[in-house]
Structure formats: C-alpha cells, structure tokens
Amino acid sequence: MSSGDNSGVAKEIEKLYAAVPQLHNIFYIKSKIGEGTFSSVYFAIGRLRSGEDAKFALKHLIPTSHPTRIAAELQCLSVAGGEDNVMGVKYCFRNKDHVVIVMPYLEHECFADILHSLSFEETKEYMFNLLKALRHIHSFGIVHRDVKPSNFLFNRSLKKFALVDFGLAQGTSDTKIDLLKVLQPKKQDGLVGSSTQRSVFGERNFNVHSAVTIDNTTLKAAKPSKTIDVTTRKLATRKTVSTKSTSSAVPKKAASTCQTSLTCDCYAKDQVCNICLARTRQVAPRAGTPGFRAPEVLTKCPHQTTAIDMWSAGIIFLSLLSGRYHFFNAADDMNALAQIMTIRGSKETIQASKCFGKSVLCSKELPSKDLRTLCEGLRSAIVLPNGNQHDIQKQRAALQMRIMENQDGWFLPESPDITPDSPAVVRSSCVSTPDNMEQSNHNGWDRVPNEAYHLLDRLLDMNPATRITAEEALIHPLFKNMR
C-alpha cells in the first residue's frame, strides 16, 4: 500500500475505535485486509484472559445493514461455524448501529498468486475441503450464495481452510437457522421477491486481484423492452450469439414445467409483443458475484436451492483445472449466460432452462465443449509477464476466448493481440527443459484423471435439479483415496 492508503486506513481504524469503544482495551487493530459493499474486515491482535495474544479478523458491518440480516449472519456462524472448514465466531460487539463480528484469523494465500503453482493433488485437496464445507452448511439448510475463492480461505502450508462471509446467505425451505426463515423470499402475486435481498456491487477484497476483463464484442444480449413506446427502440442483434430470457406467464405453475407456446414473437424485432407487455416483472434472488452466478440465478428463476453454491464450486474447479481466473467476466446477466453457452452449449442451456420454467432463445447453435480439451488447451498456453499489466490481461482474455471458441484447443492463437511469434505466449512444450518437465510431472498436470472432468461436468450441470450435491461430490471417484 502507498503512504496515502496507509493514512486512509489509519483514519478508518481510528473511526472504528470511536464507533465501538469496547474494542480499545481488547484489540490492537493492525491493518485492513478486506472491503466489500456491506462491510470492512481488519486484522487485529487480541489479548486473551490467559494473558496470551491471538490473531483475529474483525468484520465491521456498515451501519445501514438490516438488523435481521446481521443477526442471521451471526446465527449462521454460531450454529454452523467452527467445524468442517466453516468459519466460526468468537465474539460480537455492538454500539448503537455499529456491529463488529470477531472471528479467528486464518493467514491465507491469494488464490490468483498460487493458481499456477498448485499441484493437481493440492487442487484435489482444495476442492475436497470446499465441498466438505458446503456439505456442512447445506445440512443446516444454508445457501451461501457467494461462494468464490476470496470467501474460501486457504493456508497452503498448514493445509487449513475456512468458508467465510455469510452476509448474503439465505435459507432453504427446511433451514435450521431460525433467522434465515425470517429472511426467506416472500411470495408476491405468485412471484418471488425479498425486501432484504442485496446484490453485490463494487466489491473489493485485498486478497484478490481485479478481474481480467474479457473484451467480447461477439456476445450480446437482447432484452425485452420495459416501455410500451417502442418506435425509437431497437433490439440489439449480432451474427453470433443472442440470448433472451423470458419468464413463465403462469407463475404459480410448478417450475419444472414450461409451455413452449409462451415464447414471444418479438425476438430481434422492432416491436414488443403482447406477451412481453402483459408479463409481470420477474423478481428473484440475484445476490452473488459476477462470474460465479448459476444459470438459474442469471435467468431469475424464483426457486433457488443449494445447487447455486455447487455451480459456484464448479466455476472454481474450472479455474483450477484451466489455470484461468477469473474464468467468466461479463457486464450483465445475459452476456454471462451467453459466455456459459460457449462452454456448455446452446442446446443444453435451452433444455435445462425449460426444467426451471424459463425459455432461452439463441440465434446460433453452439456445441458444448469437451472440458478436458478446453482446460488442457488453456493450461498448455503460458502467458509470460513481459509486458505491462493491461497488455497481459488483454493477451490472456484474447487467448481464452480463442480457445473457448475452438473445439480443438491445442493451438497457438492467431489474433492481433497474440500471435505464434509473440514472445508473450508460448506452448508449454516449447519451454519445457528437463527440469521444467520434471516439475510438470511432479505437479501431476500431465496425468489428470477422467474423474476430474466428470466431476467438473456434474458441478456445471445446467439443470439445478440434476446438478451434483456436495454430499454426492464427496464420494465421487475422484476422491476415492481421501478421507
């Protein structure tokens, strides 16, 4: 951090001491380690009653946070936390509308920093422990809703893990967390809405690098007009991919059915049909971080389950196997769905959407990608950091899109940004010396079993009803030698 940043953090710490005076005699707050829309997290040393010092993470919730939401997060931590890789809570301090949650501090690595140095065995261990944490919270009827690397802390040397941040958690219909029952979405005219639902915007975590922007001009979403006056409105179209999500006109009907006759006829036209005009605005839980949202979240499916956490775990596994993070990064939900289609295929997306009461239209049929070919193709191309950060990000984004759009995967991309002659991009075989090859073999990436890609395929099942659960995933053949 720069001196300006340090002085700014020092002032924040002073304000926190002033807001919650009880902290003064117990904790020495040393630094700020994370910041989100609804909270800031600090690293502190606390003096225990035994006289010993211990490390803690202090999460200061913004004063405008909903009281019930704060209490629900605390209840998740106290009831389900403290075991099976789920962070627990030690203390909680409150002064007026300021709340500070005190948790054990786990020193951890930055996911982006260690991604390319992890062995395949470490990757297996990482996923096994993440799934164990998800199985634990799901057994309590908790849907985390924001599973991502920065919320799953990993201490590589100690082999310790911790799932954190239940600020966006919701409960299943049979949740054991009483306050999540209060926060469950209320049915309104057959639809689902929630006055306490919060989306994540502008999140910043000091343990995570900024997302790599994928300049993907070939993906464009066509959204239905929200106004009756359509004389000056044009629906955007592209030659490649165009998606449109429409909700069922019979909201009270079970989500497992979808009537094809409800598909509107104004797609890609200079008009809005009566079906679209008569459709009640769909309201559904949408919290989470872009790039990790499941298809049913992107299409505003009212009934969302623990399966959305499993999709997010699948995206993390996809990053681990491909060596690319963030893997998806779209400006809006429909572009995000279009990016997912480039991997899972348009036919699969359309079929799955029908199962949860949605209709998705695509202007071009996209085949599903072979996950092994995709991941090995991305991992085989090494982007060397011999330019500025902007150029490196641009190169990586262009490389990823080229491989995602090409079924073969084993090639050097030909584009204005990356060429076979570019010193920034080489195939792993081009730079493998005997030492490098020995390291590669040691890391195990030359012998990734089929079971890994089978599990990835099950985690990224477009249909939440058939997507693998955490309990099922833990007994997957990939983990046969793990406890």
The rounded distance, in Å, linking the Cα atoms of 273 and 414 is 43
Alpha-carbon distances of 355 from 24, 296, 303, 348, 433, rounded to whole Å? 55, 10, 12, 11, 50
The residues annotated with a catalytic role in the active site are: 146
The rounded distance, in Å, linking the Cα atoms of 202 and 193 is 23
Indicate the burial class of 412 (C-beta count within 10 angstroms; 0-12, 13-18, 19 or more).
middle
Cβ proximity of 30 and 21 under 8 Å: no
C-alpha angle with apex 169: 168 to 170, nearest 5 degrees?
Answer: 120
The rounded distance, in Å, linking the Cα atoms of 476 and 347 is 27
Structure tokens at 116: 């390319």
Find out whether 59 is annotated in a ligand binding site.
yes
What are phi and psi for residue 163, nearest 5 degrees?
Answer: -85, 125
CA-atom Rg of the chain in angstroms: 24
The rounded distance, in Å, linking the Cα atoms of 42 and 182 is 29
Other Cβ atoms less than 10 A from the Cβ of 397: the count is 19
From the list 374, 453, 366, the residue with the least C-alpha distance to 407 is: 374
* DSSP line for 308-341: HHHHHHHHHHHHHHHT-SS----SSHHHHHHHHH
Structure tokens at 274: 């009566």
C-alpha dihedral sign at 410, 294, 135, 151? positive
The rounded distance, in Å, linking the Cα atoms of 257 and 473 is 27
The rounded distance, in Å, linking the Cα atoms of 178 and 166 is 15
Structure tokens at 387: 């330019």
Write out the binding residues for ATP: 59
Write out the binding residues: 59
